């Protein structure tokens, strides 16, 4: 009865992790050999773990990462121009603490979005706020927001996160409103947060995509000068995966 009462009190106090740990201890016969301090420490550890997991789930839900990618699954053996030492520094995340940017460029299919999402997932695990957007969809959302009065609030939300991922940049030349929106985003985040941009277009040609010399200078000055660059080369990973799947299927009796 006392144990049940304690369990109910822990749950009522918003300590479900400690309540579950207490249940586990009651079901384990060797728990009686542990001291009170050890048992209490195990319960507290369980509570901390439960809360950390809930916060991580919430951060990942908010981030809305396009790919279910984690850094442990990134293939560094395939020759794509990714140096292991440099990638280890990206995974460490100190560049995010320093409010620096990361520009990932390369042809379609080489894994730019996957790597960006994996780094975003790692940032969530490191207790950082992350938000993912595909640039075409983001520009559409900003255009709609401009019409219904949410524009300033949407820009404020983009400025607030510690790591913003802008995927598929430069698929088409920008319109006047899109150029101004991009400048607002970059200016709001300059030295206040980190941004990952993925693009098929080499950085040297971004001026042409922005298509306005004055705005292009302003955007690139804020974005490029404190950015790390990851240029990925090689064949499409989708093509490689498809070939591997076909070979596996062909080898089956």
Q: How many CA atoms lie within 13 A of 131 on its CB side?
A: 16
Q: Mean pLDDT, to the nearest integer, of 2-16?
A: 74
pLDDT for 162-180, tens place per residue? 999 999 999 888 999 999 9
* Residues near 105 by beta carbon (within 8 Å), at least 6 away in sequence: 112, 198, 199, 200, 201, 202, 203, 229, 230, 231, 232
pLDDT level of residue 45 (50, 70, 90 thresholds): confident
Nearest alpha-carbon partner for 116 in 101, 100, 104, 131:
104
What are the helix (H) ranges across the chain? 2-12, 16-27, 36-63, 84-92, 94-97, 112-125, 135-148, 151-160, 176-189, 206-210, 213-223, 237-251
Percent of the chain with pLDDT over 70: 92
Mean pLDDT value of segment 148-171: 95
What average pLDDT does range 181-208 have in this prediction? 95
Cα distance between residue 151 and residue 242, in whole Å: 42
Please indicate whether residue 91 or residue 29 has the higher confidence score (pLDDT): 91
**pLDDT tens figures, 180-193:** 999 999 999 999 99
Q: What is the pLDDT of residue 247?
A: 45
pLDDT, tens only, 50-100: 888 899 999 999 999 999 999 998 888 777 788 999 999 999 999 999 999
Confidence of residue 1 (pLDDT cuts 50, 70, 90): very low
* pLDDT attached to residue 34: 76
Predicted pLDDT of residue 50 = 85
* Tokens matching residue 225: 């000068």
**What percent of the chain is modeled with pLDDT above 90?**
62
**Average pLDDT in the chain:** 87
The model scores a pTM over 0.85: no
Half-sphere exposure of 218 (CA within 13 A, CB side): 15
How many CB atoms are closer than 10 A to CB 98? 10
| Mean pLDDT for the stretch of residues 112-133 | 96
Is the pLDDT at 2 greater than 50? The verdict is: yes
């Amino acid at each position: 009865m006392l144990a049940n009462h304690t369990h109910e009190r822990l749950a009522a106090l918003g300590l479900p992790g400690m309540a579950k740990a207490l249940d586990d201890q009651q079901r384990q016969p060797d728990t009686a050999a542990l001291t009170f301090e050890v048992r209490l420490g195990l319960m507290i550890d369980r509570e901390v773990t439960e809360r950390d997991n809930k916060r991580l789930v919430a951060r990942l839900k908010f981030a809305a990462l396009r790919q279910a990618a984690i850094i442990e699954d990134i293939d560094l053996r395939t020759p794509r121009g990714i140096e292991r030492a440099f990638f280890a520094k990206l995974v460490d995340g100190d560049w995010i603490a320093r409010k620096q940017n990361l520009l990932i460029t390369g042809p379609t299919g080489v894994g730019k979005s996957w790597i960006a999402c994996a780094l975003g997932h790692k940032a969530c695990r490191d207790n950082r706020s992350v938000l993912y957007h595909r640039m075409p969809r983001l520009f559409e959302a900003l255009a709609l927001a401009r019409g219904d009065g949410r524009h300033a609030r949407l820009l404020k939300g983009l400025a607030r996160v510690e790591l913003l991922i802008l995927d598929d940049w430069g698929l088409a030349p920008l319109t006047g409103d899109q150029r101004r929106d991009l400048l607002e985003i970059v200016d709001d985040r300059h030295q206040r947060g980190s941004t990952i941009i993925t693009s098929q277009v080499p950085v040297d040609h971004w001026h042409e995509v922005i298509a306005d010399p004055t705005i292009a200078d302003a955007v690139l000055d804020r974005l490029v000068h404190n950015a790390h660059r990851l240029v990925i080369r090689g064949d499409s990973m989708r093509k490689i995966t498809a070939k591997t799947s076909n070979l596996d299927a062909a080898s089956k009796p």
